Amino acid sequence: MFLAESGTPADTLATLRAARAWAVERNEDNLATARAHSEGRAAFPERAAQTLLVGRFLTDYCRLVAEWADWAARLVEQWPEDPRERSPTPRRSRRRSGGPNGMRRSCKATLMGRAS
Instruction: Name which of 4, 24, 26 is nearest 13 in CA terms.
Output: 4
* Contact between residue 112 and residue 59 where contact means Cβ atoms under 8 Å apart: no
* Contact between residue 46 and residue 40 where contact means Cβ atoms under 8 Å apart: no
* Contact between residue 93 and residue 103 where contact means Cβ atoms under 8 Å apart: no
Give me the pLDDT at residue 104, please: 41
Give me the pLDDT at residue 101, please: 42
Give me the pLDDT at residue 19, please: 96
pTM: 0.69
Longest Cα pair distance anywhere in the chain, in angstroms? Answer: 57
| Series of mean pLDDT values for 10-residue runs along the chain (116 residues) | 80 95 93 89 88 91 96 91 76 48 47 50
